[in-house]
Amino acid sequence: MGEIKVSNKQVVIPGEVLAEGMDYVPTGSAYREEDKILSMQTGLVEVSNRVIKVIPLSGPYFPREGDTIIGRISDVLLSGWRVEMNTAYEAILPVKDAVNEFVGRGADLSKFFDIGDLIFCSVSRVTSQMLIDLSMKDRNSRKLFGGRLLGIAPVKIPRVIGKKASMVAMLKNATGCKVYVGKNGLIWIDGDPKMEQVLVKALQMIDEQAHTSGLTERVKKFLEKETGNKIGDNDELQQKN
């Protein structure tokens, strides 16, 4: 008979025994060694039925097809742009996936996107050799003007977004700021300077407390105190977005 040695949502360290016996299945950053399941990394345990998962609390971003990310144009090429994306790998944004109008051979592509420009886009292709293509065809994709660019550990981005985008909806509605969240750990915000500061503090709270339970309620109370606005429930927030 198997036995779980940790509790759900517990923070564990590398090599820590999570369960004994053959009744449980490891996934994520958990692995089996003989009749024990151990953690590969410092992370948060999730136990669901017979599956034990460890979600890392730190680590680099690895792009996946369909991810929405924030990138910075690093070079203008003949048929597209090279894009930095907060990872060890650079990506290519082809002209055909970036603009809707016809672009002739030899055209000056910097009139569309120039070096240093920030873009919110999606990952359209990732090969086994880590050749990465991006696309601006998604209706939410756009060039980001002005604002502030913030960084957070990529593994904590799901907490910034929240279930059914509830957390990011709350952040937007409470502060009135525009917020774009990239799965590569970059967050772009733009709004009233005072509300931007409140938003930055809320994001710092999420970053520091991402592994704890009750985070949404604590962030809600913080935002209500700092903005003086009453925040509705999740359904109301999602309808506004």
Phi/psi region, residue 229 (left: phi>0; alpha: psi -120 to 50; beta: rest), is beta
Query: 106-124 pLDDT, tens per residue?
Result: 889 999 999 999 999 999 9
Lowest model confidence (mean pLDDT) among 5-9, 91-95, 158-162? 5-9
pLDDT over 70 at 234, yes or no? no
In whole angstroms, how far apart are CA 58 and each of 19, 41, 105, 201? 23, 9, 44, 20
pLDDT over 70 at 226, yes or no? yes
Mean pLDDT (whole number) for 62-76: 95
The CA distance from 62 to 50, in Å, is 27
Give the number of other Cβ atoms within 10 Å of residue 177's Cβ. 20
* Mean pLDDT of the residues in the chain: 91
Lowest model confidence (mean pLDDT) among 54-58, 212-216, 237-241? 237-241
* pLDDT value, residue 160: 95
Mean pLDDT (whole number) for 140-165: 93
The CA distance from 49 to 110, in Å, is 53
Domains of the chain: residue spans and CATH: 3-56 (2.40.50.100), 68-144 (2.40.50.140), 148-240 (3.30.1370.10)
* pLDDT value, residue 1: 67
* pLDDT value, residue 232: 77
Is residue 213 very low, low, confident or very high in pLDDT (cuts 50, 70, 90)?
confident
- This prediction has a pTM of 0.79
* pLDDT value, residue 116: 94
The CA distance from 142 to 138, in Å, is 9
Q: What percent of the chain has pLDDT over 90?
A: 66
Mean pLDDT (whole number) for 11-38: 91
